[in-house]
């Protein structure tokens, strides 16, 4: 790992390829305020966001401070100081198994101006990022995406999925555990104080999670300029403390009542539970609140214990399920050795990577304690042939190799190899990413 990722130069291969098109590709110095603002302008325009207020610009500048900020400039444009493409990145730990993390290279703000689309700018940005990640010593890259069609070609595969739920509270009827800890309302300011420690515990327990910054908390609690206008006033926060007084969970919600207040919809902004008791207590609390008739939640896990904690499981309706966290393995040996496994076994994988970072044949050996060791065995007979995007999708155990084999996305070279892979890679905790980055 290089000591300072911010001082890494712009990738020379992309720089040359873009220079051949008359474009300049470079990083932006964080102390160059004018260049940072122009970059941010291009980033927000690239996502078709409204022109930002001064307060929002300051907020957004704060969110990217500390990131490696890169752009592409075209001297022929009418405003040549504004880049025509943007990307930002930073090293960030990714939980790969409970209490096990690996340093990943997070990539965000990938935009290309509509005036410059489909000329290979995004390709140069992305491959430039992957090479920079390797130069920094990161073994895996990660991102969250706008469209599911963009990143597979660069070796990324979806590895953690997310679901939205709508619960009909009148049908649900709580039948789960009734924890004996205490529930209490807390102010947003108190939540800002106690929430991060709870979220950290959840992050380390859950494959797919990454740390969130204080700015995320401010946005979540309606304390940021990027929060909707009246969200601070509308949001309520309830904390669950266990019998020893430890704060184990938080729920952040807002309620929209009908005109006559006889019914209401509760929007679950966040439900963060570090223990099964906190989870049950907070879900029960929102489902039984008067006069709530509907609870809506997004960015939840694709499998939620909640479905099994109500009398009528059909009252918990999954309204959406989609890819959320995308991973791109760059170094198979280091990444596979970074997580614990579910069973003892030995697998030889033939990994195909069109961009060459991870191509090779690898033997993963796991023992009964879940420890894995990986060695490169080029030339050995492989049992499974996997593309790098598919291996990245399978890493956290949220997707079955058998599913990908049935879909023709990976090839069993030995019958039963996909099932053997699934036995080893299974995750006891459903992988989930509860935030965007
Ligand atoms: C991590 C994140 O930040 S997610 C955010 C992604 N950005 C956005 O959604 C903002 C709006 N969109 C954009 O800015 C641009 O359209 C981008 C970044 C998606 C693509 O930029 P471009 O410079 O046009 O892409 P580029 O020309 O490099 O295309 C590379 C390849 O991806 C394909 N591609 C690019 N965009 C898309 C897309 N939206 N859907 C499907 N394929 C795409 C191209 O056809 C090309 O394919 P090829 O390699 O087979 O020839």
Geometric angle at alpha carbon 272, from 270 and 278, rounded to 5°: 130
SS (H, E, C) 332-389: HHHHHHCCCCCCCEEEEEEEECCCCCCCEEEEEEECCCCCEEEEECCCCCCCEEEEHH
Q: Is 425 a catalytic residue?
A: no
107 touches ligand 1 (CB under 6 Å): yes
125 lines ligand 1 (CB under 6 A): no
Q: Of residues 151, 341, 421, 425, which has the active-site annotation?
A: 151
149-177 residue pLDDT tens = 999 999 999 999 999 999 999 999 999 99
> Percent of the chain beyond pLDDT 70?
99
Q: What is the pLDDT of residue 228?
A: 73
Taking the C-alpha atoms of residue 6 and residue 136, their distance in angstroms, rounded to an integer, is: 10
DSSP symbols for 199-226: HHHHHHHSTT-----HHHHHHHTT-STT
pLDDT of residue 62: 85
Q: Is the CB of 8 within 6 Å of ligand 1?
A: no
The residue among 324, 348, 323, 327 whose CA lies nearest residue 392 is 327
Mutational pocket test of ligand 1: of 71, 110, 125, 158, the residue with most ligand atoms within 8 Å of the beta carbon: 110
Beta carbons within 10 angstroms of residue 47's beta carbon? 11
Rounded CA-CA distance 10/26 in Å is 5
* Nearest residue to 176 via CA among 310, 313, 316: 310
Give the pLDDT confidence score for residue 65 in this predicted structure. 85
151 is catalytic: yes
**pLDDT attached to residue 56:** 83
Please tell me if the CB atom of residue 334 comes closer than 6 angstroms to any atom of ligand 1: no
Residue 144 to residues 40, 107, 112, 148, 328: CA-CA distances in angstroms? 19, 8, 17, 10, 12
Ligand 1 nearest atom to the CA of residue 121, by list position: 23
Contact between 318 and 297 (Cβ < 8 Å): no
Residue 370 has pLDDT above 70, yes or no: yes
Residues facing 375 on adjacent strands: 363
Distance CA 304, CA 284 (A): 14
Q: What is the pTM of this model?
A: 0.97
Which SS3 state, helix, strand or coil, does residue 117 take?
A: coil
What is the pLDDT averaged over residues 278-301?
97
All domains of the chain, ordered by start, with CATH?
5-144 (3.40.630.30), 163-323 (3.40.630.30), 331-425 (3.30.1050.10)
Looking at residue 57, what is its pLDDT? 85
Report DSSP letters for 406-427, one per residue: HTTSSEESSTTHHHHHHHHH--
Reported as type and span, the H/E element at residue 93 is strand 85-97
Phi, psi of 155 (to 5 degrees): 90, 5
pLDDT at 230 over 80: no
pLDDT cut 90: percent of the chain above it: 91
Report the pLDDT value the prediction gives residue 259, as an integer from 0 to 100: 85
- Band the pLDDT of 2: cuts 50, 70, 90: low
Stretch 395-404: mean pLDDT, rounded? 98
H or E, element range at 130? helix 121-136
- pLDDT of 235-250, one tens digit each? 999 999 999 999 999 9
Closest CA to 61 of 97, 32, 18: 32
Band of the pLDDT at 264, cuts 50, 70, 90? very high
Best residue among 118, 128, 146 to mutate for probing ligand 1, ranked by most atoms within 8 Å of CB: 118
Per residue in 59-107, pLDDT (tens digit) is 888 888 899 999 999 999 999 999 999 999 999 999 999 999 999 999 9
């Amino acid at each position: 790992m290089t000591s300072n990722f911010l001082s890494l130069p712009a990738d020379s291969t992309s720089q040359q390829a873009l220079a051949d098109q008359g474009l300049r590709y470079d990083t932006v110095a964080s102390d160059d305020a004018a260049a940072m603002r122009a970059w941010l302008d291009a980033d927000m325009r690239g996502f078709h966001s409204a022109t930002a207020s001064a307060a929002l610009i300051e907020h957004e500048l704060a969110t990217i401070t500390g990131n490696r900020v890169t752009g592409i400039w075209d001297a022929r444009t009418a405003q040549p100081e504004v880049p025509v493409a943007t990307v930002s990145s930073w090293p960030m730990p990714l939980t790969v198994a409970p209490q096990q993390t690996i340093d990943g290279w997070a990539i965000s703000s990938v935009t290309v101006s509509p005036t410059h689309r489909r000329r290979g700018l995004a390709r140069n940005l992305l491959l430039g990022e992957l090479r920079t990640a390797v130069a920094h010593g990161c073994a895996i890259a990660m991102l969250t995406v706008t469209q599911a069609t963009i990143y597979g070609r660069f070796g990324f595969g979806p590895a953690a999925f997310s679901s939205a739920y709508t619960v009909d509270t009148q049908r649900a009827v709580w039948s789960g555990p009734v924890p004996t800890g205490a529930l209490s309302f807390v102010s947003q300011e108190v939540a800002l104080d106690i929430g991060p420690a709870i979220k950290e515990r959840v992050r380390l327990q859950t494959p797919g999670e990454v740390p969130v910054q204080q700015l995320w908390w401010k946005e979540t609690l309606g304390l940021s300029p990027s929060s909707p206008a009246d969200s601070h006033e509308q949001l309520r926060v309830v904390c669950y403390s266990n019998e020893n007084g430890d704060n184990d969970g938080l729920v952040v919600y807002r309620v929209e009542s009908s005109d006559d207040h006889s019914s209401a919809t509760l929007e679950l902004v966040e439900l963060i539970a570090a223990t099964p008791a906190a989870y049950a207590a907070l879900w029960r609390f929102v489902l039984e609140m008067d006069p709530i008739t509907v609870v809506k939640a997004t960015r939840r896990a694709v499998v939620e214990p909640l479905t099994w904690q109500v009398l009528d499981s059909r009252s918990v309706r999954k309204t959406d399920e989609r890819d959320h966290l995308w991973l791109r393995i760059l170094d198979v040996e280091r990444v596979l050795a970074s997580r614990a496994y579910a069973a003892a076994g030995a697998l030889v994988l033939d990994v195909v990577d069109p961009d060459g970072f991870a191509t090779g044949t690898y033997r993963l050996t796991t023992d009964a304690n879940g420890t894995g060791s990986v060695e490169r065995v080029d030339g050995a007979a492989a049992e499974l042939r996997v593309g790098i995007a598919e291996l990245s999708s399978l890493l956290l155990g949220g997707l079955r190799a058998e599913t990908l084999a049935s879909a023709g996305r990976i090839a069993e070279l030995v019958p039963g190899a996909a099932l053997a892979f699934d036995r080893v890679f299974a995750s006891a905790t459903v992988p989930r990413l509860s935030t965007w980055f």
